[in-house]
Amino acid sequence: MTSDKTSCFQNKRFDKLHEECAVFGVSTSTNEAPGITYNGLLALQHRGQEGAGIAVLKGRTIVCHKDVGLTSEVFSGKILQKLPPSTLAVGHTRYSTTGTNTQSNVQPFVTEYLTGRIATAHNGNILNAWELKATLIEDGLDFIATSDSEVISSLIAHCIIKKGSVSAGVAEAARKLDGAFSLIIMTGDGQLVAVRDPRGFRPLCIGLNDTGMAVASESCALDSCGFTFLRDVAPGELVVIQDGEIKDSFVYAECDSKALCIFEYVYFARSDSVIDGLSVYEARYNMGRALAASHYVEADAVCGVPDSGLDAAKGYADASGLPYVTGFVKNRYIGRSFIFPSQAQRENAVRLKLNPLKSAVAGKRIVLIDDSIVRGTTCAKIIATLKAAGAKEVHLRISSPPFKHTCHFGTDIDGEENLIANKKTVEEIRQIIGADSLGYIGIKDLRGACKKANLEFCTGCFDGNYGYKGRESIETIRKDILEREKAACEKLQDK
């Protein structure tokens, strides 16, 4: 094995806030599982645009097609039709939280072992992946990819063999995983297993209709595929679905500190999803109302940056009494800006994606609502386009607190040295981005906007409170992760 450090620590792109991945699985009495899964992935495309894959069960064999690109690109033309008709399928859309963006790292991962085979789809980030990989290699397992998801699939297969049972093996494997994970595992004997980590960092929900059951990262995918939302998978719960119904469910691990990523409500999730009992639309609307209470400004109109800023803008407008207007026309055929490989292309993409509606903003003092500021480049461009369209003033309001820390649980936030809020005051940021005023929502108000959810929240990217193992400081977590990864890499390099 090479001694190059990058063999263990993959370089990542940090041009904009990077999203999660999405998982979807279905067990149905019809042979339409591949098509249902494809539709589910389309509904979840906002969570990952770098790769997509679908695995289906044909007899006791698992057939999988996956590649880099959008779901519609990976399954264009006759490719989807070539997947065999099946009653069971699992799919994934990917953003590369770990590992390079290559076909070998795209999910689902299919793992064959002595007594069977599984296909695994994973959303999240495993902190001890390199430790587990080193141990599995010692036990004779081989790896072809660089993502933690391959480690998870191999670990599950390893534990199934040891335990002699799918549910017991998956539970044993899940107890060994440290970090954030929502998993869907399809087995060669027709089971669909859904697992959520004990702290509930990532969402996962179950839906049903008269043909069977589906599991998805967000309820919007269940709606889109004709399934009625049944319930969320609870933190630390394992659910076994077979022949379109729940055969078993149990809590495999308890945890006192529940910590759903609060940025699911701010940005990641679609507005029409419900996560842990709270409508994403309602949460964002409440954020806007809180911003109006804490950062009101005399203005003529309120508008939001599509898409995640729109609901908060409506809340701000209703609470402030200011008119709500459509400030931008969005080109929905342009990919998210961080997909573009060069900075010049990313800057052009901002202008291509959002075109100001001059008749709505010209000559007016505008309150502009957006979900976040990472480096400040994108919002500066948006403010500049509004002023070029004739806006007299632009007062920016942000529905998340300032980003000050990285995330180790599946959200790729830029290095702390590049986060503008770590280097500049609010007033300095305002001057850099060209806003006439700038206001962020406070942590307390953000929590209040999401108070109907059934979990506590991880707010580590804002305040260092990760809700993780007694809520250690960011310095403690970072030091622990780096030391463990270094030791595991050295162990692998010695092989």
User: Helix and strand tally (H, E) in the chain?
Assistant: 18, 23
Q: Decide which of 21 and 406 is more confident.
A: 21
From 190-204, 296-310, 327-341, the region with the lowest mean pLDDT: 327-341
Are 288 and 317 within 8 A, CB to CB?
Answer: yes
Mean pLDDT on 411-440 = 90
State residue 338's pLDDT score. Answer: 46
Is residue 282 located within the same domain as residue 236? no
Read off the pLDDT of residues 150-179 as tens digits, 9 standing for 90 and up.
899 999 999 999 999 999 999 999 999 988
Mean pLDDT on 119-126 = 93
What is the overall mean pLDDT for the chain?
87
Q: How far apart, in whole angstroms, are the C-alpha atoms of residue 323 and residue 316?
A: 10
Residue 21 CB coordination number (10 Å): 26
Is residue 473 located within the same domain as residue 347? no
Mean pLDDT on 51-71 = 95
* C-alpha count within 13 angstroms, C-beta hemisphere, residue 27: 23
The answer to whether residue 220 is catalytic is no
Q: What angle do CA 17, 18, 19 make, to 5 degrees?
A: 120
Measured in whole angstroms, the distance separating CA 119 from the mean position of its chain's CA atoms is 20
Q: How far apart, in whole angstroms, are the C-alpha atoms of residue 58 and residue 61?
A: 5
State residue 11's pLDDT score. Answer: 35
Is residue 308 located within the same domain as residue 228? no
Q: What percent of the chain has pLDDT over 70?
A: 84
Backbone φ and ψ for 94, nearest 5 degrees, come out as -120, 135
Q: How far apart, in whole angstroms, are the C-alpha atoms of residue 94 and residue 109?
A: 12
Per DSSP, the three-state class of 196 is strand
Looking at the predicted structure, is the pLDDT value of residue 215 above 90? Answer: yes
State residue 4's pLDDT score. Answer: 34
If you ran DSSP here, which 8-state letter would residue 177 be given?
-
Is residue 315 located within the same domain as residue 346? yes
Is residue 421 located within the same domain as residue 489? no
State residue 471's pLDDT score. Answer: 45
State residue 145's pLDDT score. Answer: 66
State residue 349's pLDDT score. Answer: 65
Is residue 247 located within the same domain as residue 290? no
Nearest to 285 by CA among 265, 264, 259, 299: 265
State residue 415's pLDDT score. Answer: 73
State residue 413's pLDDT score. Answer: 67
Is residue 284 located within the same domain as residue 230? no
pLDDT band at residue 40 under the 50/70/90 scheme? very high
Work out the burial of residue 144: count CB atoms within 10 Å of its CB; fewer than 13 is exposed, 13-18 middle, 19 or more buried.
exposed
Is residue 236 located within the same domain as residue 123? yes
**Total domains, the chain:** 3
Looking at the predicted structure, is the pLDDT value of residue 408 above 80? Answer: no
Q: Per the domain annotation, does 270 fall within a domain?
A: no
Is residue 218 located within the same domain as residue 152? yes
Is residue 445 located within the same domain as residue 479? no
State residue 372's pLDDT score. Answer: 94
State residue 473's pLDDT score. Answer: 53
Nearest to 424 by CA among 443, 394, 400, 402: 402
Q: Which residue is catalytic, options 21, 379, 407, 458?
A: 21
Looking at the predicted structure, is the pLDDT value of residue 2 above 50? Answer: no
Domain containing 244 — which CATH number?
3.60.20.10
Q: Per the domain annotation, does 457 fall within a domain?
A: no
Nearest to 410 by CA among 232, 278, 229, 217: 217
Backbone φ and ψ for 261, nearest 5 degrees, come out as -60, 115
Q: Per the domain annotation, does 14 fall within a domain?
A: no
Q: Per the domain annotation, does 92 fall within a domain?
A: yes
State the residue range of the domain holding 44.
19-258
If you ran DSSP here, which 8-state letter would residue 70 be given?
-
Q: What percent of the chain has pLDDT over 90?
A: 65
State residue 15's pLDDT score. Answer: 38
Backbone φ and ψ for 354, nearest 5 degrees, come out as -125, 115
State residue 331's pLDDT score. Answer: 80
